[in-house]
């Protein structure tokens, strides 16, 4: 049994220098609740994670002797800014950073803001490694190999616009791990296709208008043809280990808006190869099209949900021309045809683990025999999200407790962070 871990509060000078306080302890946020993070929840900051300054926000720690909450403030000798961790893929955050927001503080960029502390010379975060796959671990990406592979892909598909987009935009500009893995001919390959969307998600990472927040990446500016998609997808499915191709990426809108293109593409891929998994990451807004895609060979579907309760789903997704019932109907269509369904469950501590939400998630799993939950951290300013959701005040049970409870209730349910390859 390891010794109790009680990490110290960390903060920044606003110029990239991070310091630890000599006595105040780090805390965690679960919604509006401030939490003494259990010792067993702290893990070493995963490789590939980043520390981030939170402008316009002051760090808050706890005096271990008096249990008083202390806000560190800047003075004429020292500038003080709160710090959070943006954790590497495959890890799920259990508690968010604690801070005091100053008047006129900017809305934070679209990242997930984990609590972070300092203990015995190392940074710690409250998180769980939810997926053992190494597919997006930093150790798997060699710059020289990537650059060589990028040249090879460009030479192999000189006229293919989608290949060029994946190389120049996704891999070499944004460093998208899925695009990098495509270049290295392994695992999951992204297939962005859609310039438009029928959701207006609060935290959309590819389109923000008049919010004061920048998009994390720009949306694809063209619609590839079925032939362009089929050409590169078939080669990947035929040659890569654990091959998987996925429609629905961060650099696009909703793929179901290109329904006929997807139907023609899936059909064309399956006419050429039966290898690998064809997956759709989606808002699941069009059940009739989900049924058609499954009928022509789509293997799996990952449905994005910030909540399994309609009220809160609508407040985040702000659907245009579809309803939450359509999402449920899409799941029914996929499952009734023997398809694999994952929930892309947006993890926001203090909201997704509220008792009513946990029960609602469990009901959805039970009613529709969901195959997998992907516990993905929601990238959004915590206060912006909380103000938009206006949730009924309920204390969260804890992300780790929620996951463990669902594991026990549904022993056959998969848990992870990435889409699985279902067939070689």
> Mean pLDDT per 10-residue run, the chain (424 residues)?
84 96 98 96 98 98 97 87 98 99 95 98 99 94 96 98 96 94 97 94 81 77 97 98 95 93 98 98 98 98 98 97 98 99 99 98 99 98 96 93 99 98 84
What pLDDT is recorded for position 413? 99
Closest residue by Cα to residue 151 from 184, 175, 200, 176: 184
What pLDDT score does 212 carry?
73
**Residue 188 near residue 419 (C-beta atoms within 8 A):** yes
Report pTM: 0.95
Pick the CATH number of 152-416 from 3.20.20.70, 2.60.40.10, 1.20.120.420, 3.40.30.10: 3.20.20.70
- The pLDDT, as a whole number, for residue 209 is 76
Question: CATH 3.20.20.70 region(s) of the chain?
Answer: 152-416
Give the phi and the psi of residue 145 in degrees, each rounded to 5.
-65, -40
- Provide Rg for the chain, Cα atoms: 22
Residue with structure tokens 């987009």?
Answer: 165
pLDDT the model gives residue 187 = 97
């Amino acid at each position: 049994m390891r010794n109790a871990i009680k990490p110290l509060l960390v903060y920044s000078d606003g110029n990239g220098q991070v310091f630890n306080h000599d006595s105040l302890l780090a805390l965690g946020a679960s919604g509006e609740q401030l939490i003494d993070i259990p010792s067993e929840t702290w893990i070493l900051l995963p490789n590939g994670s980043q520390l981030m300054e939170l402008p316009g926000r002051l760090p808050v720690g706890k005096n271990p002797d008096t249990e008083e909450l202390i806000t560190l403030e800047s003075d004429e000798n020292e500038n003080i800014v709160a710090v959070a961790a943006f954790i590497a893929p495959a890890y799920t955050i259990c508690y968010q950073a604690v801070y005091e927001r100053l008047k006129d503080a900017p809305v934070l960029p679209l990242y997930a803001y984990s609590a972070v502390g300092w203990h015995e010379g190392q940074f710690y975060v409250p998180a769980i490694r939810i997926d053992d796959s190494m597919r997006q671990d930093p150790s798997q990406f060699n710059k020289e190999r990537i650059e060589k592979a990028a040249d090879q892909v460009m030479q192999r598909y000189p006229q293919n616009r989608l290949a060029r987009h994946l190389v120049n935009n996704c891999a070499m500009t944004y460093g998208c791990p899925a695009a990098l893995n495509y270049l290295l001919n392994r695992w999951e390959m992204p297939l962005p296709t859609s310039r438009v969307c029928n959701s207006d998600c609060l935290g959309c990472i590819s389109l923000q208008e008049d919010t004061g927040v920048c998009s994390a990446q720009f949306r694809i500016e063209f619609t590839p043809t079925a032939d362009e998609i089929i050409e590169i997808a078939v080669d990947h499915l035929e040659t890569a280990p654990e091959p998987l191709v996925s429609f629905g990426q961060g650099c696009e809108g909703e793929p179901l808006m290109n329904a006929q293109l997807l139907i023609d593409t899936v059909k064309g891929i399956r006419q050429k190869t039966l290898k690998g998994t064809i997956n759709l990451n989606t808002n699941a807004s069009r059940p009739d099209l989900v049924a058609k895609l499954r009928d022509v060979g789509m293997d799996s579907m990952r449905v994005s949900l910030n909540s399994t309760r309609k009220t809160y789903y609508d407040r985040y997704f702000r659907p245009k021309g579809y309803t939450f019932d359509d999402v449920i109907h899409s799941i029914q269509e996929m499952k009734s045809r023997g398809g694999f369904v994952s929930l892309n469950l947006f993890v926001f501590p203090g909201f997704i683990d509220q008792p009513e939400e946990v029960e609602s998630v469990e009901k959805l799993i039970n009613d529709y025999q969901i195959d997998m939950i992907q516990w993905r951290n929601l990238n959004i300013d915590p206060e912006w999200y909380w103000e938009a959701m206006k949730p009924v005040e309920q204390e969260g049970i804890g992300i780790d407790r929620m996951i463990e409870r669902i594991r026990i209730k549904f022993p056959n349910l998969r848990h992870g962070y990435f889409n699985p390859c279902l067939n070689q």
